[in-house]
Amino acid sequence: APKAVFPAVIGRPKNAGIMVGAGQKEDYVGDAAMARRGVLTIKYPLEHGIVTSWDDMEKIWHHAFFNELRVTPSEHPVLLTEAPMNPKANRERMTQLLFETFEIPAFYVAIQAVLSLYASGRTSGIVIDSGDGVTHTVPIYEGYSLPHAVERIDLAGRDLTEHLSTLLMSSGTKLTTSAEKEIVRDIKQQLCYVAENYEKELSSAKTNNALAKEFELPDGNVITVKEERFMCPEALFKPSMLGKEMHGMHEACFSSIMKCDIDVRKDLYGNIVMSGGTTMFPGIASRVNKEIETKAPNAIKIKVIAPPERQYSVWIGGSILASLTTFQTMWVTAEEY
């Protein structure tokens, strides 16, 4: 399991400090920022899998090396992961920062979905990976990813948090500041689920009181969350709910499979692997299964695999990859750079 897990966020004080010598910092990173979020403005240096603030990203890596892992970066090679179809400039700047600022000895960038497949112990399959910023579907056959068939959707966890915030607002709960968004994220992670049949769930929600769940806000107020629980993640299947013209998660998966060679498809249908934090909603695997079944040929066997540790499967795959003897030749060393 990972040694350190923390959110890639930076928090800066909203107001000037008045307690002299109380040791207020300019900025807080990760969990420290989350713990003090009430007095901070929370910023994310990553948007849809792309770094938008390199200064903040440097602080996050600094925090990871020196505060969380307590290692000297110049003694350890670094394996970074990114979403497919990320701009090349992003990767180049990443490489530059790690070699020049942190003076790391060697470096490698891997695609997230490929690592998830390694972690599930397969060499063929299609991975649906959904994190905070990007959802992507990547078909892999006999260990080779098929780049022409990759689908990428810029709709993921953070968009769902925004969506839930809007839904809660329309039912009278206003949680809109950057710190309150983190509360909305907690509500999302604890109470949301994916409906097997959205329309049916929606019509029964009016009479079904068992759906209503209470959530206590930090100030002690209790709010009741009802149909918002399944309306929030539904946007993964219907991006039009967020006013986005793009494929739903299931359509992207099907579209990826259809872009592959006809002989490969059967193996892909039988190995649909979910990974990433945004695939942690209860009910998501059976829903994807149902949606793909309606699109696929009747005779074909469909299997959706949702490993319980899928929130960290990219990391697990990375640790598998980095420990392979064949991998040691793949590093880009500081000399080469």
End-to-end CA, the chain: 31
Residue 7: what pLDDT? 94
Instruction: Categorize the per-residue pLDDT at 23 as very low, low, confident or very high, splitting at 50, 70 and 90.
Output: low
Say if residue 173 is in the same domain as residue 287. Answer: no
291-297: Cβ within 8 A, 24+ apart: 291/237, 291/248, 291/250, 292/250, 292/253, 292/254, 295/250, 295/251, 295/254, 296/254, 296/269
Query: Both 149 and 250 in a single domain?
Result: yes
Q: What is the pLDDT of residues 92-132, one digit of tens each?
A: 999 999 999 999 999 999 999 999 999 999 999 999 999 99
| 225-279 pLDDT per residue, tens | 999 999 999 999 999 999 999 999 999 999 999 999 999 999 999 999 999 999 9
Among residues 199, 234, 269, the one where a domain terminates is 234
**Statement to judge: residues 148 and 249 lie in one domain:** yes
* CATH number for the domain harbouring residue 2: 3.30.420.40
User: Same domain, yes or no, for 164 and 282?
Assistant: no
Provide the domain count of the chain: 3
Task: Tell me if 166 is assigned to some domain.
Answer: yes
Question: What's the predicted TM-score (pTM) here?
Answer: 0.91
On whether both 147 and 255 belong to a single domain, the answer is yes
Is residue 1 located within the same domain as residue 123?
no
Q: Position of tokens 């991975």?
A: 127
Question: In this predicted model, what pLDDT tens digit does every residue of 40-98 receive, in sequence order?
Answer: 999 999 999 999 999 999 999 999 999 999 999 999 999 999 988 889 999 999 999 99
Helix (H, G, I), strand (E, B) or coil at 213: strand
101 within a domain of the structure (yes/no): no
Judge if 29 and 63 occupy the same domain.
yes
DSSP 22: S
pLDDT of residue 1: 84
Could you list the residue range(s) of the whole structural domain that residue 65 is in? 1-71
pLDDT in tens, 169-200: 999 999 999 899 999 999 999 999 999 999 99
96 in any annotated domain = no
In a domain? residue 12? yes
Same domain, yes or no: 182 and 150: no
Residue 280 lies in a domain: yes
The pLDDT tens digits for 209-228 are 889 999 999 999 999 999 99
Task: Evaluate if residue 163 carries a pLDDT over 80.
Answer: yes
Mean pLDDT confidence for 301-330: 94
**Distance (Å, whole) CA 24 – CA 28:** 10
